[in-house]
Structure 1
Amino acid sequence: MAEQPPRTETPVPALDSLDASGRTVLVRADLNVPLHEGEVTDDLRLEASLPTLRTLLDQGARVVLMSHLGRPKGEPSEELRLGPVAERLRDLLGESVTAARDIVGDDARAKVAACEPGQVVLLENLRFDPGETKNDPEFADRLAAFGDAYVNDAFGAAHRAHASVVGVPDRVQPAVAGELMAAELRTLQGLLEDPPGPFIAILGGAKVSDKIGVIENLLDAVDRLLIGGAMCYTFLAAQGHDMAGSKVETDQLDTCRELLARADRAGTELRLPVDVVAAAEFASDADHRTVPVSEIPEGMMGLDIGPETVASYASTIADAQTLLWNGPMGVFEWDAFAAGTEGIARSVAACTGFTVIGGGDSAAAVRQLGLAEQVSHVSTGGGASLEFLEGIDLPGVAALRKGAA
């Protein structure tokens, strides 16, 4: 696993520019973790938040922590309360973490008022209030009233123009990036700024339409682009292959033809699967077989890349000096169609270059396989990572830059 290549400084104020001593610091974190029967089942995002929290607490700050959890649609949901998250965070942090039962109401105000230096108050799920996703000025005002400094460490929410992401830093200064946010920005920016070659990107997932912007932005940056997941079937159909019952976005066929032509003009090798695991139905226990991409039987659909493709992609991955992977190779939640994703994950982990997992399902896969420690950087933000790699100025990042101007 290689060291991170040189890159430009994060174009936002950093945590080390903030003197947190004696301050009450509002921290927007991404604690959107999976819960099962009231317990956290994956600590990735909690662990990623710890360095910033420890830095602030060591300086004697009072920390008011903010996060969303799930999609409660603007009203309280007992299953999406942050109490269990506070309990797990308390264990990981080894410091006092008090959970408020509301966001900006009486309980939150009382707990923030009672917060001592070196302690944390976690506000209730931000999305219990419709003002969060609407960036409502009154809701942003009430959040901002809790602190006299702001830290955004929620890269996974940086692509959302929500009250806690853009409204609060517009009202509270200084506003800086936390350590996780800064690391994410430095890493992803480094992929776009002349990284060591060969630079290889692996893209999977369900839809070409979700990743057109990323493909367009990467074609001039990478040496090779390896495609898997259901999105590969639209590319293969664009080349003239009969995909039988596989998922094909017919309205994207011309786009795929143009992307293939653009890759050729750029001298970028765009690789597609040569074999797939096909099944007669979309089900975990469906009868399945491995076939060449040009021989998918009528009525069957591709649900994973095949072993020949895995071997070919693995050989290419081994040569990478810089590597980005975003998106599974098949329906990896089902054992019958998980081999492609697992094979790519193990190849990425074995790569000696600088390796980046672009969040989402790819991050979940390497975590499940116990390979995360063998990867240089596992992003905590799937959607945010994709938008950043498209070249979009994320609202949460722009808000920090605006405050520093």
Structure 2
Amino acid sequence: MSTFANYNFKGQRALVRVDFNVPLDDKFQITDDTRMRAAVPTIKKILGDGGSVILMSHLGRPKGGPEDKFSLRHLLPHLKELLPGTPVEFADDCIGESAVNAASALKPGTVLLLENLRFYKEEEKGDKAFAEKLSKLGDVYVNDAFGTAHRAHASTAVIAQFFPKDKRMFGLLMEAEVNSANKVLKDTQRPFTAILGGAKVSDKILIIENLLDRANNLIIGGGMAYTFLKAQGHPIGKSLCEEDKLDLANEILVKAKAKGVQLLIPVDSVVADKFAPDAATKEVSNDNIPDGWMGLDIGPKTIEAFGKVILASRTILWNGPMGVFEMEKFQQGTKAVAELVAKATAAGAFSLVGGGDSVAAVNQFGLADKVSYVSTGGGALLEFFEGKVLPGIAAVTE
């Protein structure tokens, strides 16, 4: 594997797997371009060396072939805005004649965007013949799509074998993602605190199991906290609860104690009489959630308790919100945690924020540049911290 920064792309066509799976509105306007902006430094380095760039990505989940609403053509105007002065072309296929001709005619300093890889079912199947056809478009393979690194697809895990080791590498984004994740898991400064939120314990069980061997503190918030509370015998009203995971929650509590991990569960909540922005709300102790009410955010005493631990930490991983932060009445807990993580970072801690909702939160509260690293990978980051080998990483490094 070559190191991207040291590679000279002069005269080379770089086939770059990016993650341009961005949200579009009903007029095909991009509502969040984070993933596209994240790929720009890699693209600019290749062009700056005198190479050309062929971009390949998926968009959405097309069912049986091409669908206009999933065409990467909709991203072309914004891609040109992100690369001012750079000629940006589009191929209406990713392996057919139009793609082959456009790639072979590509001049240095030019970018070519291929049509959606998932218009071919072979992409998600990890088809070797499809991967080989893609590989013929470029001289060098660059994987810069951390968001899809956990998928064993043709463009992420199979294609690398068609390039010699010195012609396959990670882009700058992928390098930063892997380095940041390794800084948390392997080069950990202690105390290490993991903050996990979101709706379900079942979504986070593997990451919890893995972190119990690594973290000093494990903070649990969001809807999943009420499964832990009910497991301990607390009344939770109409709060979210996975009834079939109560035993599992108790097992986690026992394991944490045995391993010397401080596991923090909310002590109070902001509860509501319905799941709506105009709900009646009150702050209650988690010993005293009334029947018919549901916990939708952590309360002030919990924020204070979590804050003491976060501010004393040297390494912080945050994945998942503390409540329904999309509604203003229930965003205080998530906002407070975001501010606490930022404050700890300013004091010298290394902080990694990952997962769609956590990333949305730090962006919403204007704190994305106040944490050490904001990951573009949701599922990929989770699987990395679950201790799994990600196919997109293994394909380039092994």
> Secondary structure at 1:215's aligned position in 2?
helix
- Structure 2 CA distance for aligned equivalents of residues 76 and 142 of structure 1: 18
**Match of residue 395, structure 2, among 383, 393, 399:** 399
**Match of residue 252, structure 1, among 241, 245, 267:** 245
- Structure 1 CA distance for aligned equivalents of residues 328 and 379 of structure 2: 26
Evaluate the alpha carbon distance shift between residue 158 and residue 211 of structure 1 in structure 2; reply closer, same or farther with a 3 A threshold.
Answer: same
**Match of residue 165, structure 1, among 156, 168, 191:** 156
The letter for the 1-side match of 2:14 is V
Q: Structure 1, residues 120-141: CA drift from partner, whole Å, max 9, x if none?
A: 1011122222111111223222
Could you tell me the percent identity over the aligned residues?
Answer: 49
Shift of residue 388 of structure 1? 0.4
- Structure 2 CA distance for aligned equivalents of residues 230 and 101 of structure 1: 44
Question: Structure 1 residue 85 and structure 2 residue 75: aligned?
Answer: yes
Equivalent position of 1:23 in the other structure: 12
> Secondary structure at 2:388's aligned position in 1?
coil
Runs of 4+ more than 3 Å apart: 16-19
Equivalent position of 2:31 in the other structure: 41
**Match of residue 372, structure 1, among 360, 368, 375:** 368
The letter for the 2-side match of 1:56 is I
- Contact 1:197/1:321 (<8 A) preserved: yes
Equivalent position of 1:220 in the other structure: 213
> Secondary structure at 2:362's aligned position in 1?
helix
Q: Structure 1, residues 124-176: CA drift from partner, whole Å, max 9, x if none?
A: 12222211111122322221121121000100100001111012112233211
Question: Structure 1 residue 147 and structure 2 residue 141: aligned?
Answer: no
Shift of residue 31 of structure 1? 1.4
* Greater Cα shift, 246-255 or 371-380: 246-255
- Contact 1:103/1:124 (<8 A) preserved: yes
**Match of residue 388, structure 1, among 361, 384, 390:** 384
- Structure 2 CA distance for aligned equivalents of residues 350 and 151 of structure 1: 36
The letter for the 2-side match of 1:23 is Q
Question: Structure 1 residue 32 and structure 2 residue 21: aligned?
Answer: yes
The letter for the 2-side match of 1:204 is G
- Structure 1 CA distance for aligned equivalents of residues 226 and 289 of structure 2: 11
* Greater Cα shift, 251-260 or 384-393: 251-260
- Structure 2 CA distance for aligned equivalents of residues 166 and 281 of structure 1: 45
* Greater Cα shift, 243-252 or 198-207: 243-252
Equivalent position of 1:233 in the other structure: 226
Shift of residue 327 of structure 1? 0.4
Question: Structure 1 residue 73 and structure 2 residue 79: aligned?
Answer: no
- Contact 1:276/1:293 (<8 A) preserved: yes
* Greater Cα shift, 38-47 or 355-364: 38-47
Q: Which has the higher contact order (CA 8 A, sep 6+)?
A: 1
- Contact 1:13/1:400 (<8 A) preserved: no
The letter for the 2-side match of 1:182 is E
- Contact 2:128/2:159 (<8 A) preserved: no
- Contact 1:161/1:395 (<8 A) preserved: yes
> Secondary structure at 1:56's aligned position in 2?
helix
Equivalent position of 1:7 in the other structure: none
* Greater Cα shift, 71-80 or 213-222: 71-80
- Contact 1:18/1:176 (<8 A) preserved: no
Alignment of 1:86-105 (within 5 A): 86-94=76-84, 95-105=86-96
TM-score (norm 1): 0.92
Question: Structure 1 residue 315 and structure 2 residue 308: aligned?
Answer: yes
Shift of residue 194 of structure 1? 4.5
Equivalent position of 1:301 in the other structure: 294
- Structure 1 CA distance for aligned equivalents of residues 64 and 171 of structure 2: 27
- Structure 2 CA distance for aligned equivalents of residues 139 and 61 of structure 1: 25
- Structure 1 CA distance for aligned equivalents of residues 156 and 187 of structure 2: 30
The letter for the 2-side match of 1:331 is V
Evaluate the alpha carbon distance shift between residue 283 and residue 75 of structure 1 in structure 2; reply closer, same or farther with a 3 A threshold.
Answer: farther
> Secondary structure at 1:40's aligned position in 2?
coil
Question: Structure 1 residue 130 and structure 2 residue 121: aligned?
Answer: yes
TM-score (norm 2): 0.94
Equivalent position of 1:342 in the other structure: 335
